[in-house]
Chains A and B, each alone.
Chain A
Amino acid sequence: MALAIPQQVPWYLAPLRLLRGVFQVRRFPGVALIILVFLLVIPGLFAEWVAPHDPIKGSLGARLKPPMWEKGGSSTYPLGTDKVGRDVLSRIIYGARVSLRVSLEAIAVSGVIGITLGLLAGYFGGRIDAFIMRLVDISLGLPIILIALVFVAALGPSFATMNAVITVALWSRYARQVRGEVLSIKQRDFIARARVAGASHLRIMFRYLLPNVVNSLIVLATLQVGFVILLESSLSFLGAGIPRPTPAWGLMVADGRELIVTAWWIAMFPGLAIMLTVLSMNLVGDWLRDHLDPKLKNV
């Protein structure tokens, strides 16, 4: 692929070359992308226009209605309602927004931190490298769910806590990846030339090293989205994630669990949403990896 060989890529061209590579290929995960768009992107961005009902205010008269293809269901509430009378479909749509928001925020923050630290470690080497790598090792060695639980026990469940937890969990992967690649690119001639020409460290790192690393980072980020969504929903399920009454898929499954015998739809559909989203994301991520950077097979 065009970007597999590190070259002196001007920073503004890197994403364009990426796009060109993306559309050239076979086994394009079309179905997965469609699912993603309909399950994550559109609901996430346009929830207010897409959802038929209010996700938080329920109507007590319409409690525990089954999905529309069952007896007793109606097309007003296509996927049924929960025990407070809230439309399951609308909640799923709004829940997509939560998932989208958490993944983007968490990945953005942890990405920025991780990439920066990785660049520093790889570029400067020596003590800085050793120190940062220690941090990475420790961070990777800590069990995520426990940290999450501790944070939540201390600070209470909220968006901010969730983001903090996921960031702590994720940043080290980016750092490690970036550092590794920087170490291998660092020796190339064009870097030496830049240094001779008097480029500052900052300039070298961001104008020269970063564009060459972007590929693998994109793959990493895509594969992380699925992981983040799973983590967020697990935490929400345990009551340690997004607080009620905000609709989050994990929370909905938790709510539906008690009623699994009588009102199975409350837990089923949100879970299905999670699975399909993560699955599609993984498929897209795998495909991206195969076509952008096969070296990452073990990520």
Chain B
Amino acid sequence: MQRYILIRFLQCLLALWVMSVIVFSLARMTGDPLDVLLPMEAGEGERERVAHHWGLDRPLYEQYFVFLGKALKGDFGNSWKWQGHTAMGLVIERLPATLELAGIAIVISVMLALPFGVLTAVWKDTFFDSLGKIVALLGQSLPSFWLGIVLMWIFAVHLGWLPTSGRGSWYHMILPAVCLGWFQVAAMMRLVRSSMLDVLDSEFVKLTRVKGLPEWKVVWKHCLRNAAIAPLTYFALTAGVLLTGSVVIESVFAWPGTGLLAVDAVRARDFQVVQAIVIVFSSVFLMANLLVDILYAYIDPRIRY
């Protein structure tokens, strides 16, 4: 078991390292950083001085190690678009907003997906189930940004119940959180449903009915406990997915989080910030995957005993 965790952890580090290489090489590919740092008229001597100051005259792999060293300390340099801020500083400043949104989205999606998943399994092949299937299908097919715009149009523009964008009161949170969580609801509901269907057929469920338990207890106490295993592991994975989704949703609703920061930085070719964001996001993503694998190993009794 420990060996398994160790191997997975090393894989994560490897993946993270690959990301850093990708990010670094692409940064250098955009062109000579000197052009960014100096005005075009600068003379040869000026260029050499600045190059030396920034360590840009060193061979590429050396530059990479410098970059890596700094990255490990969390230093990604200064943002060139938002003067006066460090790249990392910006990311940290904006992270709480994204986490807040992601948190609400997770809560909403679990609160919806679990009961609906259970009910579509219990009431299989009824109208309700068909409805559920439609919802699941839509969840996978709707582009999240379009959903955001449509919802915004209905609720903010036409009905005026909710604000269109920005962050402030909890009203502002509803639309973006719903959009973010939407895809998760669809996917998780399907998972819960198929797990439940498997469990509902088991022998021990028959025994609980023989014991004379009321049907609701059979479903919600016995079946759900067993059926929740698979969705639970998927649920831990959603952290990573939500992070990616936040990029789009935050753009649509102008929610001031790291996602929006990423888009703005890309548009402005502010590579320091982009690097910082990518590394941070990747770490979160990989950690989430790692946690899922470990969780699964714990829950699966074949590994436990």
A contacts B directly (C-beta below 8 A):
yes
Q: Is B217 an interface residue when CB atoms closer than 8 A count as contact?
A: no
Q: Complex: how many Å from CA A153 to CA B274?
A: 8
A contact patch SS: helix
Q: Within A240-299, which residues are at the interface with B (CB < 8 Å)?
A: 240, 250, 253, 256-257, 260-261, 264, 267-268, 271-272, 274-275, 278-279, 282-283, 297
Task: Report yes or no: B149 in contact with A238, Cβ–Cβ below 8 A.
Answer: no
Are B140 and A143 interface neighbours, CB within 8 A?
no
B161 interface residue, CB < 8 Å from A? no
The answer on a CB contact under 8 Å between B244 and A143 is yes
Which A residues are in CB contact (< 8 Å) with B247?
145-146, 149, 238
Identify which of B61-69, B93-101, B282-290 touches chain A. Answer: B282-290
A217 CB–B CB distance under 8 Å? no
CB of B255 within 8 A of chain A? no
The stretch of A40-48, A63-71, A134-142 that contacts the partner chain: A134-142
User: Is the pair B248, A234 in contact by a Cβ cutoff of 8 Å?
Assistant: yes
Contacts of B11 in A (CB 8 A): 134, 137-138, 141
Nearest Cβ on chain B to A71's Cβ, whole angstroms:
17
Bound Cα distance A253, B152 (Å): 13
- Report the nearest A residue to B18, measured CB to CB: A138
Interface pair B266/A149, CB less than 8 Å apart: yes
Bound CA–CA A154/B30 (angstroms): 5
Q: Does B14 have its Cβ within 8 Å of any Cβ on chain A?
A: yes
B152's nearest neighbour on chain A, judged by CB, is A260
Check if B140 sits within 8 Å of A282, measured CB to CB: yes
CA distance A150 to B23 in the complex (A): 7
Interchain Cβ contacts within 8 Å, total number: 134
B interface bracket (residues with beta carbon within 8 Å of A): 35 or more
Query: Chain A 178-200 against B: per-residue CB contact (8 Å), 1 yes, 0 no?
Result: 00000000000000000000000
Q: Is A33 an interface residue (CB 8 A)?
A: no
The one of B14, B19, B263, B269 that contacts A238, using a Cβ cutoff of 8 Å: B263
Task: Return chain B residues, CB-CB under 8 Å to A152.
Answer: 266
Most buried by B among A142, A264, A282, A283: A142
Q: How far is the CB of A24 from chain B (nearest CB, A)?
A: 24
* B240 part of interface (Cβ distance < 8 Å): yes
A138-B18, A146-B262, A238-B263 known; A274+B143 contact, CB < 8 A: yes
B150 with A268: CB separation less than 8 A: yes
B294 interfacial by beta-carbon distance below 8 Å: no
Distance from B138 Cβ to chain A, minimum over Cβ atoms (Å):
7
A141 and B143 contact, Cβ closer than 8 Å, known pairs A149-B266, A282-B137: no
Question: CA separation between A153 and B273, bound complex, in Å?
Answer: 11
Q: Which residues of B contact A134 (CB under 8 A)?
A: 11, 14
User: Could you say which residues of chain A place their CB within 8 Å of the CB of B157?
Assistant: 260-261
Q: Which 8 A-B pairs have the closest CB atoms?
A: A271-B146, A154-B26, A279-B141, A278-B141, A138-B15, A153-B266, A145-B244, A141-B15
Interfacial residues, chain A to chain B (CB-CB below 8 A) = 134, 137-138, 141-147, 149-155, 226, 230, 233-234, 237-240, 250, 253, 256-257, 260-261, 264, 267-268, 271-272, 274-275, 278-279, 282-283, 297
Could you name 25 residue pairs across A and B whose Cβ atoms are closer than 8 Å? A134-B11, A143-B281, A143-B282, A149-B247, A150-B23, A150-B274, A152-B266, A153-B30, A154-B26, A230-B141, A230-B143, A233-B143, A234-B145, A238-B247, A239-B263, A250-B143, A253-B146, A256-B149, A267-B149, A275-B141, A275-B143, A278-B140, A279-B138, A279-B141, A297-B194
